[in-house]
Amino acid sequence: MQNRMPLVEAMLKYKNDKVYPFHTPGHKGGRGMETLLREQLGAGALAMDVSLMSELDDIHAPTTYIKEAQDLAAQLYGSDKCFFAVNGTTGAIHAMLMAACSAGDKVLVPRNAHRSVAGALLLANLEPVFVMPEYDAAFGINTQITPEAVEQAFSRHADIKAVLVTSPNYYGQAADLAAIAEVAHAHNAALLVDEAHGPHLGFNKKLPPSALQCGADACAQSTHKILGAMTQCSLLHVKGGRIDLARAAEVMSLLTTTSPNYLLMASLDAARYTLETQGAELAEKALAAAAKLRDLLGSFAGLRLLDASCVGTNGVAGFDLTKVTVNTAAWGCSGVEVGNALRRADIAVELTDAANVLFLVTYADGGAEYDAILAKIKAVFAELEQHKRTPLAAESFDKLPEFTTAMPLRTAFDAAKESVPLNEAEGRICAEQVSFYPPGIPVLWPGELVTRGVLDYCQRMKALGLPVSGPADYTLTELRVIK
């Protein structure tokens, strides 16, 4: 029965039984927690922060409440098996790749894949076969890989075992997953989808279909990004016979803590329930809220909004209208500058890059509070409009530079390393990941040659003030290279 929350109900029963805990966690239902934090979190939540125990089921060998909650999620999404992931979609992606492949296998990877993919390839000792995504010069964003590019990769590497696609991307652009699935399956390879930004897809005809609906063999979803789950909560779905379900369960157990947070798992159970009982209605609410923001931003001359017109170009087969991306290049403003101006007005956005600002809208938005925030956004943009500058040149946009693999990923990761000044690293072999976050797409992977193009890209991103993720030196003054 989908109108139940089995894990939430079991935890509430445990709480209401007023069991005295001679077990972990050590704060004992909040009794031992610092007063300030205890007051903010609330006694009810802390009483439900319980440890792994038989009467609340075991995520490593679920037989009752967790099993039922996961089974309900699988039924809702149409997968054969769903796993609760409490290490975010990063952990789900690690498990997905390790379940689908064996050490030494080749995996087709879009060059704009999230940095978690590199971690998965390292853990599983897999070999990436990179494919460059298409590029939207008007917005300065990397979009999607095409079915044709996937087919060409198979012509060069017939032994590719899995195709990984990020769909939708951060900006809401979906790949042609149905066509890519056909290509992958024709070559006896599994289609794996990083669907971090798409746990809501497939529940409303105005949104793109989900990865599973398009024929994916597995997908990892950030339930916390779009739906009502707590941060760090994700789902891993497996469907069809190309991935062994027993191996997937074994890998998930291997990569999951033996002390999973039950509040996180309960929020996954509750998010599934909300989606099942109100999914279409809430999708309409999110779309309506996004439309209001889109109309507001579209009223300013010179600003460009990413919309459904991108479908059919640059490998994009669908677009999620709840992602509102505005390009401010015509005003001479970087996305980072605009994001900072909004933050000074107590508004925090999801992403800023060289020329864009991304507002993430969900069904939690709407009503009088939302209208008041829209008025503040309008005021910020009206102020920015008064100080327009020379339009930004296209070279300031975020096009990923070309790459050269000089050494296998795992070999480079395990090799002896040394740090050198970034401006002296040209010609050296990189020994660490370098990405700017968000969106967390590596510009350098371990084993790649540090070229002048890569260095110029890094300097442009640093000048914009984008945070660096991955390297040992988070200021990126120095770079770790092969000794």
Rounded CA gap, 274 and 271, in Å? 5
As given in the structure block, the two tokens for residue 185 are 């399956």
Provide, rounded to the nearest whole percent, the portion of the chain with pLDDT above 90.
90
* Cα angle for residues 352, 355, 359 (degrees, 5° grid): 40
Mean of the per-residue pLDDT values of the chain: 95
55 forms beta bridges with none
Rounded CA gap, 280 and 285, in Å? 9
Q: What is the pLDDT of residue 371?
A: 98
Residue 461 Cα distances to 109, 404, 434, angstroms: 23, 20, 11
Q: What is the pLDDT of residue 314?
A: 97
Burial class (CB in 10 A: 0-12, 13-18, 19+), 64: middle
Model confidence pLDDT, tens digit, residues 409-419: 999 999 999 99
As given in the structure block, the two tokens for residue 422 are 């970034």
DSSP 452: H
Q: What is the pLDDT of residue 464?
A: 85
> Are the beta carbons of 8 and 57 closer than 8 angstroms?
no
In this prediction, residues 110-122 reach a mean pLDDT of 95
Confidence band for 450, pLDDT divided at 50, 70 and 90: very high
Beta strands in 396-448 (DSSP E): 417-421, 434-436, 441-444
Confidence band for 351, pLDDT divided at 50, 70 and 90: very high
> Are the beta carbons of 167 and 193 closer than 8 angstroms?
yes
Is a pLDDT exceeding 80 seen at residue 459?
yes
In this prediction, residues 130-134 reach a mean pLDDT of 96
- Least confidently predicted of 243-252, 262-271, 417-426, 467-476: 467-476
> Are the beta carbons of 283 and 206 closer than 8 angstroms?
yes
**What's the distance, CA 271 to chain centroid?**
17
Reported as type and span, the H/E element at residue 142 is strand 141-142
Q: What is the pLDDT of residue 1?
A: 54
- Locus of tokens 């704009």: 112
Model confidence pLDDT, tens digit, residues 6-50: 999 999 999 999 989 898 999 999 999 999 999 999 999 999 999
In this prediction, residues 309-323 reach a mean pLDDT of 98
The number of residues making up the chain comes to: 483
Q: What is the pLDDT of residue 232?
A: 95
Rounded CA gap, 146 and 36, in Å? 52
Q: What is the pLDDT of residue 295?
A: 98
Rounded CA gap, 275 and 319, in Å? 20
Q: What is the pLDDT of residue 55?
A: 86
As given in the structure block, the two tokens for residue 310 are 């991108």
Burial class (CB in 10 A: 0-12, 13-18, 19+), 330: middle
Q: Which pTM was predicted? A: 0.96
In this prediction, residues 321-341 reach a mean pLDDT of 96
Query: Which residues have C-beta within 8 Å of that of residue 270, sequence separation ≥ 6?
Result: 5, 8, 228, 229
Rounded CA gap, 334 and 451, in Å? 25
Confidence band for 439, pLDDT divided at 50, 70 and 90: confident
> Prior bond to 260 cis, omega within 30?
no
- Buried b / exposed e across 168-190, counting CB within 10 Å, b at 16+? bbbbbbbbbbbbbbbbbbebebb
- Best CA proximity match to 233, nearest among 221, 215, 248, 250: 221
Rounded CA gap, 27 and 43, in Å? 12
- Best CA proximity match to 436, nearest among 397, 455, 462: 462
Query: Which residues have C-beta within 8 Å of that of residue 463, sequence separation ≥ 6?
Result: none
Q: What is the pLDDT of residue 233?
A: 97
Is a pLDDT exceeding 90 seen at residue 440?
no
Which amino acid, residue 317?
A
**Of all residues in the chain, what percent are helix, strand and coil, respectively (each to 5)?**
40, 20, 40
> Are the beta carbons of 394 and 430 closer than 8 angstroms?
no
Confidence band for 366, pLDDT divided at 50, 70 and 90: very high
131 forms beta bridges with 110
Is a pLDDT exceeding 80 seen at residue 396?
no
